[in-house]
Amino acid sequence: MTNTPVIPQNSAPPVPQPLSPPPPQDALQQYRIEQLEKVLEKLQTKQDALEGTTTQRLDDSLSKQANMYSSYVSYITIEIGLLSLFVAAIGLWGIRNLKKAAHKKLDEWVKDKSSEYEKKFDDLYAQLNEQSAKQIEQGKEIEALKAFEEGNRAFDKGDYEEAIRHFDRSIKIFPTGQAYLYRGGAKGDFGNQKDALADFNEALALEPDNGVIYGSRAMAQTKQGNYRESILDSDQAIALGLIGAGNYIKACAYVLWDKPKPALEALEKAIAADTKFREQAKTDKDFTALRDDARFKKLVGQE
């Protein structure tokens, strides 16, 4: 099918129109430029319309995106704010807990250090007290020793009353077994055997392993007529190493108790330990009952 126009059958044929002369060359060129400019103008109009629409759409799109991003930023800002508040709260909680923990640790440290230094102070104070007590005791010992020595000098002179006064002072300042022992000896020689026994008991309470004190008490028991007790004390003195004197005191107790056989046996042991007891037995009044005994004479060399 073509685009050829249809001519009615009963109509007359169209009259041909005269042809327009062709435009000159310059006019043709001008015409072409004008047509081209129109085309360009239409294109520009369409382009402007298109650009306007695109720009509007782009602006709208950008505006929407900006609004969306603004909302998102606001949301993020809110989230960050909330998170910051949460972190701050946690921080405050943590700081508070850290502060509490620090205070607790500090309190524990102070308590430990306080206990430590209190113990050191107590130990130092105890040491100072101990040293002070020792110095005081040493001072007392020195003063008591001086009184004791004065008592010994009076005792050696036979001034038993004076000796007892010095021993009293020594015991009052600083009681010792030796002070009680010598005071008991002075009282015994002064004729007060009962008080002498009391002093020997005090001396043994301070020095329970002193054989000399047991021997001294044995002599006091003998003078009191307590022969059994004297022999027991003599055995204790012997067990503690006072062999010669212990056996001699024991022999005296036996002979006064009228037991010559154990008396001679004890005297023999005393002389075997120390020959000085041989000479002492020759003149000792306690052996008067054995003077004529042959065994006694033999022991003391009076055969």
Asked whether residue 225 is assigned to any structural domain, the reply reads yes
pLDDT-derived band of residue 10, with 50, 70 and 90 as boundaries?
very low
Same domain, 188 and 258: no
- Rounded Cα distance between 165 and 126, Å, is 36
Same domain, 203 and 232: no
Same domain, 193 and 127: yes
pLDDT digits (tens, 9 = 90+) for 177-215: 999 999 999 999 988 999 999 999 999 999 999 999 999
Is it the case that residue 176 has pLDDT exceeding 70? Answer: yes
Angle subtended by helix axes 260-273 and 243-256, to nearest 10:
160
Asked whether residue 160 is assigned to any structural domain, the reply reads yes
Mean pLDDT calculated for residue range 104-126:
69
Least confident of 16-20, 23-27, 118-122: 16-20
Asked whether residue 167 is assigned to any structural domain, the reply reads yes
Mean pLDDT calculated for residue range 219-228:
96
pLDDT digits (tens, 9 = 90+) for 257-284: 999 999 999 999 999 999 999 999 999 9
Same domain, 192 and 237: no
pLDDT-derived band of residue 5, with 50, 70 and 90 as boundaries?
very low
pLDDT-derived band of residue 217, with 50, 70 and 90 as boundaries?
very high
Same domain, 176 and 240: no
pLDDT of residue 172: 95
Stated pTM of the model: 0.58
Quote the number of domains for the chain. Answer: 2
Q: How many CB atoms lie within 10 A of CB 106?
A: 10
Asked whether residue 303 is assigned to any structural domain, the reply reads yes
Least confident of 128-142, 159-173, 247-261, 287-301: 128-142
pLDDT of residue 97: 67
Is it the case that residue 233 has pLDDT exceeding 70? Answer: yes
pLDDT digits (tens, 9 = 90+) for 27-63: 555 555 666 566 556 666 655 555 555 556 655 665 6
Same domain, 131 and 199: yes
Mean pLDDT estimate for the chain: 79
Residue 265 sits in which domain range? 220-303
Question: What percent of the chain lies above the pLDDT cut of 70?
Answer: 60
CATH number at residue 186: 1.25.40.10
Same domain, 241 and 163: no
Asked whether residue 188 is assigned to any structural domain, the reply reads yes
Residue-level length of the chain = 303
Q: Among 146, 177, 208, give the residue marking a domain's end.
A: 208
Same domain, 123 and 204: yes
Same domain, 200 and 248: no
Asked whether residue 264 is assigned to any structural domain, the reply reads yes
Asked whether residue 36 is assigned to any structural domain, the reply reads no
pLDDT-derived band of residue 6, with 50, 70 and 90 as boundaries?
very low
Alpha-helical segments (H) within the chain: 25-156, 160-173, 177-189, 193-206, 211-223, 227-239, 243-256, 260-273, 276-283, 294-300
Asked whether residue 134 is assigned to any structural domain, the reply reads yes
Burial label, 263 (beta-carbon count in 10 A; 0-12, 13-18, 19+): buried
Least confident of 17-21, 110-114, 158-162, 287-291: 17-21
268, 269, 270 from 276: Cα distances, Å: 12, 12, 9
